[in-house]
């Protein structure tokens, strides 16, 4: 009977260890799938912040849209 109790406790400890290990792995994967930080720029016409990759550029100035880029030339 004492052996059975020791085996059950040992099994329970192993179960807790494996469960904790799986949680750590899932947290790491969650952090790896996040998008990288993208720099924001300010529209020279209306001062709205937009991601740099989505901004229209004209002579080193950033605009939130093509319409504002055209308006900024005047």
User: Per residue in 25-57, pLDDT tens?
Assistant: 777 776 666 677 889 999 999 999 999 999 999
63, β-bridge pairs: 56
Close Cβ partners of 37 (under 8 Å, ≥ 6 residues apart):
none
73 pLDDT exceeds 80? Answer: no
What distance in Å separates the CA atoms of residue 72 and residue 22, rounded to the nearest whole number? Answer: 54
66 pLDDT exceeds 70? Answer: yes
Higher pLDDT, 4 or 31: 4
CA angle 33–38–40, rounded 5-degree value: 150
């Amino acid at each position: 009977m004492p052996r059975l109790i020791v085996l059950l406790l040992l099994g329970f400890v192993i179960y807790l260890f494996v469960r904790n290990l799986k949680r750590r792995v899932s947290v790491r994967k969650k952090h790896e799938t996040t998008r990288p930080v993208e720099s924001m720029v300010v529209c020279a016409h209306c001062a709205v912040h937009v991601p740099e990759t989505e901004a229209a550029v004209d002579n080193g100035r950033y605009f939130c849209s093509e319409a504002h880029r055209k308006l900024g030339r005047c």
